[in-house]
Amino acid sequence: MTTPFERIALIGIGLIGSSLARVVRRDGLARSIVAAARSRATLDKVVELGLADTVTDDLAEAVRGADLVVIATPLGAYRAVVQALAPALAPGTIVTDVGSVKACAIADVAPHLPAGVHFVPGHPVAGTEHSGPEAGFDTLFRNRWCILTPEPGTDPAAVERVAALWRAAGSTIEIMDARHHDQILAITSHLPHVIAYTIVGTVTDLEQATQREVIKFAASGFRDFTRIAASDPVMWRDVFLNNREAVLAMLQRFTEDLTQLQRAIRWGDGETLERWFMRTRAVRRGIIDAGQA
Amino acid sequence: MTTPFERIALIGIGLIGSSLARVVRRDGLARSIVAAARSRATLDKVVELGLADTVTDDLAEAVRGADLVVIATPLGAYRAVVQALAPALAPGTIVTDVGSVKACAIADVAPHLPAGVHFVPGHPVAGTEHSGPEAGFDTLFRNRWCILTPEPGTDPAAVERVAALWRAAGSTIEIMDARHHDQILAITSHLPHVIAYTIVGTVTDLEQATQREVIKFAASGFRDFTRIAASDPVMWRDVFLNNREAVLAMLQRFTEDLTQLQRAIRWGDGETLERWFMRTRAVRRGIIDAGQA
C-alpha cells in the first residue's frame, strides 16, 4: 500500500491543524509531518504531544520537500505566510488551506504561488470553542462537511488528493464556488457568531452582582451563546474582516427583523409574535429532517 | 410514611406539567393526580400515558379537594384560569405556578384567590424545544434551578411544601423577589430567545435554494439558535408580552452593542473586534467555573 503523501507541512498548528496532524498520524497518511508555527511555546507543545516529526518557525524550511502544504493560520496571516514559503515550493506541490472565508483565501494565496503548484482552497466545517495544539482531537472532522472551492482549471487530481485526505478524516466533501461558499457561511456561521459575540458582550457590561446571577442561571438560554462566543478571537476577527460585505448584508436583514419583533413586543402585538415563532419552529424540523440536528 | 400531598391538580399538562406528573407518580408524592386541559386531544393523551387519575376540562371540578394546585398553562391564560377555579378552592389549599415571568403571575393570580389560600409563585428553570404531554420526562428538573418568588408574608410552611416537591424532582431551590427574577431572566433567557427567534426568522425569508443550503451547513453555528427558536410559540409570546419593559431594556443595550460591532466590521477595525472577542471568551470560563456549562 502506498502512503498518500510523502511529507505534509502544516503551517499553523492550532485546533484544526493539530486535529489534522492526529488524523494523519493515526492513519499513516504521510511518511512525515512538519509543523510550523511562530511561537516557540506552540512548537514545544507539538513536540511534547508527538504531533510532528519536525517542527520549525522557518516557513521555507517547513515546506521544502513537502508534497502537501496545509495553511491553517488565521486568515489575516495568509499573505505573509505565502510570501515566505512560496520560493521554497517545488512544482507539483499541492497547497490547501482550512480558512472559513474562501474568496479572500484565493486572492491572498493564488497570485503568489509559483507555476506548477496546485492550490485547492478548503474549509473543514468543524470546530470547538477551544484553541491551540492541545485542543485538537482526531475525530473533530468526523461526520462534518469539508467544502473545497477550487478555481476553474485546477488540476482534478490535486483536488481529489485533498478530498481523499478529508474523507479519511471522516468528512463529506462538497465542491462549491468560493463566493457562494462565503455567502452561505455568512448566514450559517458568521452571522450567528457576531450575534453571540454581541449578546455575551452586552452581559459583560452589566454590574458584577447581576453578572454573577446571569452566570448562575445561564442554562435558561444564555449558555448556548457563550459557547459560540468563546471561539478563537483572532480567527474570528479575521473572518469578519475578510467576509465583510456578506456579513454586513445579513446583519442588515437581521436588524430589520429584530426591529419588527421589538416593535411587536412594545405594542403588545401577540399575533405577530406567535406567527413568527410558529415559522421558526418549522426551520428546526427541517434541520432534524436533514439529519443536521 | 405520609404522602406529601393528598391530591395535586395540574392545570395545563404540557411539557412542564406532564414532567411534574411523572415525578409525582414515580415518587408517590400525592395520593391522586387530576389533570385539567382545554383540549380533548390533550386529555385523551394524558389518559393514554397514564399521567393522571382523573382528567377534566372543568377547572372548578379539577381543584375540588386538591391540597396543591399547579398552574402550568401559558401566562396569558392565568387570569381566566384563576377566575374559573378560585370559587372551588378550599381554605388551606396551596396554589403554585410554573410561569417564566413572576411579577405578572402574582398580579394575575393573587388578587383572585379566596382568603386562606396560599400562593407560592414558582419557576422551574428547565425545558426543551418540545411541547405537549408526550414531550415530558421525569428527569427534566434534575440538577436545574427552581426559583420561588413568594410575596412577603406568605406562609413559610406553604413555601416549604412547594420547595420540597421541586427538590424531590431533583431541583435546587432559590428564593427571590419576583421583580428581580424578571430582570435576571430577561437577560439569561428572554433576550437569548428573542435573538434566536429573530435570526431563524431572517433565514426563513431567504429564497428556498439558499435555505436548503443553510440547513445543510447549519452545524457551523446556526443550528444552536434553531433549537432555542423551536420553543413553544404561545408560551413565548406570553413571556414577551408579560416581561415587556425588562426585555425591551435589554434589547436596547443589545442593539447598541450590535451597532458598535457592525461598525467595527464595516471600517475594518480589527482591534475593537479582537478586544471584544477576548472579553466574551472570559464569560464562558466563568460559566464553566460555576459548573453551569
pLDDT for the residue numbered B282: 87
Nearest Cα of chain A lies from the Cα of B241 at a distance, in angstroms, of 6
pLDDT for the residue numbered A286: 83
Instruction: Show residues of chain A in contact with B280, CB under 8 Å.
Output: 196-197, 200-201, 204, 226, 229-230
- Length, in residues, of chain A: 293
Domain A180-289: what homologous superfamily? Answer: 6-phosphogluconate dehydrogenase C-terminal like domain (1.10.3660.10)
Within chain A, all domains assigned CATH 1.10.3660.10 are found at 180-289
Across A55-59, A115-119, A176-180, A278-282, least confident range: A278-282
Judge whether A200 is closer than 8 Å to chain B, CB to CB: yes
Architecture per CATH, A5-176: 3-Layer(aba) Sandwich (3.40)
Grade residue B98 by pLDDT with cuts at 50, 70 and 90: very high
pLDDT for the residue numbered A1: 56
pLDDT for the residue numbered A291: 78
Across A107-111, A163-167, B59-63, B208-212, least confident range: B208-212
Place of cell 468560493: A178
- Per-residue pLDDT, averaged over A22-42, amounts to 97
CB contact under 8 Å between B230 and A202, yes or no, is no
Residues A209-232 have pLDDT tens digits of 898 999 999 888 898 899 899 999
Judge whether B173 is closer than 8 Å to chain A, CB to CB: no
pLDDT for the residue numbered B1: 57
Write down the mean pLDDT value for chain A.
Answer: 95
Nearest-Cα residue of chain A relative to residue B215: A287
Write down the mean pLDDT value for chain B.
Answer: 95
Residues 202-221 of B with CB under 8 A from A: 202-206, 210-211, 213-221
Residues A114-160 have pLDDT tens digits of 999 999 999 999 999 899 999 999 999 999 999 999 999 999 999 99
Residues 264-293 of B with CB under 8 A from A: 265-266, 268, 270, 273-274, 276-287, 290, 292-293
HEC string for B4-39: CEEEEEEECCCHHHHHHHHHHHHHCCEEEEEEECCC
- Specify the pTM: 0.92
**ipTM beyond cut 0.85:** yes
Q: Which helix (H) or strand (E) holds A6?
A: strand A5-11
Residues B19-72 have pLDDT tens digits of 999 999 999 999 999 999 999 999 999 999 999 999 999 999 999 999 999 999
**DSSP character for A115?**
T
Radius of gyration from C-alpha coordinates of chain A: 21
CB contact under 8 Å between B214 and A250, yes or no, is no
CB contact under 8 Å between A192 and B225, yes or no, is yes
Within chain A, all domains assigned CATH 3.40.50.720 are found at 5-176
Judge whether B76 is closer than 8 Å to chain A, CB to CB: yes
Residues B125-168 have pLDDT tens digits of 999 989 999 999 999 999 999 999 999 999 999 999 999 999 99
User: A33: helix, coil or strand?
Assistant: strand
Angle (nearest 5°) at CA A131 between B266 and A208: 70
What per-residue string of b and e applies to B216-247 under the rule 16 or more CB within 10 Å gives b? bbbbbbbbbbbbbbbbbbbbbbbbbbbbbebb
The sign of the CA dihedral B108, B171, A288, A175 is positive
Mutation site, A128, A143, A198, A212, interface B, largest B CB count within 10 A: A198
Instruction: Show residues of chain B in contact with A247, CB under 8 Å.
Output: 265
CB contact under 8 Å between B189 and A251, yes or no, is no
